[in-house]
Amino acid sequence: MCSPPRSHPDKDIMSLRTDAYIDGQWRSGAKRFPVFNPATQETVAQVPDLGAAEAEEAIAAAHRAFPKWAAKTAKERGQIMRAWFDLMIADLDRLARLISLEGGKPVAEAKGEAMYGASFVEWFAEEAKRAYGRVIPTTTPTRRYVTIKQPIGVCAAVTPWNFPMAMITRKAAPAIAAGCTIVLKPPHQTPLTALALAELAENAGLPPGVFNVVTTEHAAAVGKVMCESPLVRHFSFTGSTEIGKKLGAACVGSTVKKVALELGGNAPLIVFADADLDLAVKGAVMSKFRNAGQTCVCANRILVEDAIYDAFSKKLADAVAKLKVGPGDQEGVDVGPLIDKKAIEKVELMVGEALASGAVALTGGKKHAAGAQFYTPTVLANVTRDMRVNTEEIFGPVAPLIRFNSEDEAVAIANDTPFGLAAYFFTRDVNRAWRVAERIEAGMVSINDGIFSNEVIPFGGWKESGLGREGGSEGLDEYLESKFVNFGGF
């Protein structure tokens, strides 16, 4: 049974919208569902539990708004988006506390996400002005060839809970900047951040129907409408590979709409014997334990060359043992709660299996006393390649260490996965840096750095980690169609 909403000390957080946003109107519903604080399991708000009918209504609104929005110049769209960005920056502290409240991450980290999320709005407001076509040299004197880029149309997006703001703006900002309209289904765990963004967009002057937010606990019903609607021309999803495959197939099988999928990862982090160990430890902690390990690009498994394995293991375990665990609104917290009961159970099971198979917990290896959904930051030694902590995405604060003896072996272990989203490695050898970066099968490779994401880079994966790119100039191209025009009769 859900607990009643409590009186929260940050009253300005709870003054944010808790209704869905369709066609410029704040919409309630016959049913509502609770949003929980993962640190306390308390209910912090109730939002509308909408369904297929409301999803169709939102798509229709986006379809009506599209011609007028697409007809605006990139500069006009950019001015509204710049106002949206300015409002987000002015509201940064409140947005950070909201992200922490419904998602669990420490407030300082949440503020970093809020800034990261806002950066996509700023970047694409400017990048839309550079959606260039080209002139193609003619094959005959009587013809002239050009290409132009035009907005693809109505877009639909399904976003995850682990980055409740950034994963929205990384999709919505390029779509809106390109001249498209969009319907968003945020995750049921973290819908409040999406509604806060909608309110700020409305205040910035974004016209009705351009940005719509459909809240629901019935993801399958709303997702089906998005995938099968003939009015939707582009579908973007961030989440598990299993669900992404089904949604992608539904999109192509029904209306052959354009699909962007940012799916699961199993990122290796390789530490070669010539690496700066202190830098490698710092990078591993930053990558692995950000958002309690609940990121698709975090270092899921750490591969360490045998010659430095013992030294690195001790340094990493010492650093991880110092991480402060607790609710995100507490001062100095490094690691917050996992998102829900299912997540904590998965981590417990995977660590238990590893320990039973011979792995050793150098630190952690158990739940944390801070609460039901907290897990102690963990370093596991003696991990083998067949253990699930190596073969599957953990999505928790657990760092498995695997020995290797050569560069070839490290690359083979790194590539021995159906996923290819991100990879990291540490070395002082410039030749090795180029060589390994080219050999690793991943869409993004970071050398001597545990954090790389920002708005100017193309974010996306190889193999079963997805299709398409978000961010950079490539992110805008996802929402544009190239049209060839032949001028004849010269």
Tell me the per-residue pLDDT of 205-259, one tens digit each, with 9 for 90 and over. 999 999 999 999 989 999 999 999 999 999 999 999 999 999 999 999 999 999 9
At 128, give phi and psi (nearest 5°).
-60, -25
Long-range contacts of 56-60 (CB under 8 A, 24+ apart): 56/225, 56/229, 57/22, 57/23, 58/22, 58/23, 58/183, 58/212, 58/214, 59/154, 59/156, 59/183, 59/225, 59/226, 59/229, 59/231, 59/232, 60/231
Mean of pLDDT values over 389-408? 98
Of 302, 47, 332, the residue nearest 164 (C-alpha): 47
Mean of pLDDT values over 437-464? 97
pLDDT band at 14 (very low <50, low <70, confident <90, very high): low
**What pLDDT shows up at residue 8?**
46
Catalytic residue, chosen from 113, 127, 202, 262, is: 262
| Contact call for residues 181 and 24 (beta carbons, < 8 A) | no
**What pLDDT shows up at residue 10?**
54
Catalytic residue, chosen from 155, 180, 227, 296, is: 296
Structure tokens at 10: 């940050």
CA dihedral 147, 150, 153, 159 (to 10 degrees): 100
% of the chain residues with pLDDT over 90: 96
262 included as an active-site residue: yes
pLDDT band at 490 (very low <50, low <70, confident <90, very high): confident
**What pLDDT shows up at residue 13?**
60
Mean of pLDDT values over 323-342? 97
251 included as an active-site residue: no
**What pLDDT shows up at residue 11?**
53
Q: pLDDT for 159-199, tens place per residue?
A: 999 999 999 999 999 999 999 999 999 999 999 999 999 99
% of the chain residues with pLDDT over 70: 97
Whether the pLDDT of residue 15 is over 90: the answer is: no
pLDDT band at 26 (very low <50, low <70, confident <90, very high): very high
What is the rounded CA–CA span in Å between residue 136 and residue 484? Answer: 10
**How many other CB atoms are there within 10 angstroms of residue 162's CB atom?**
26
CA dihedral 220, 164, 299, 437 (to 10 degrees): 90
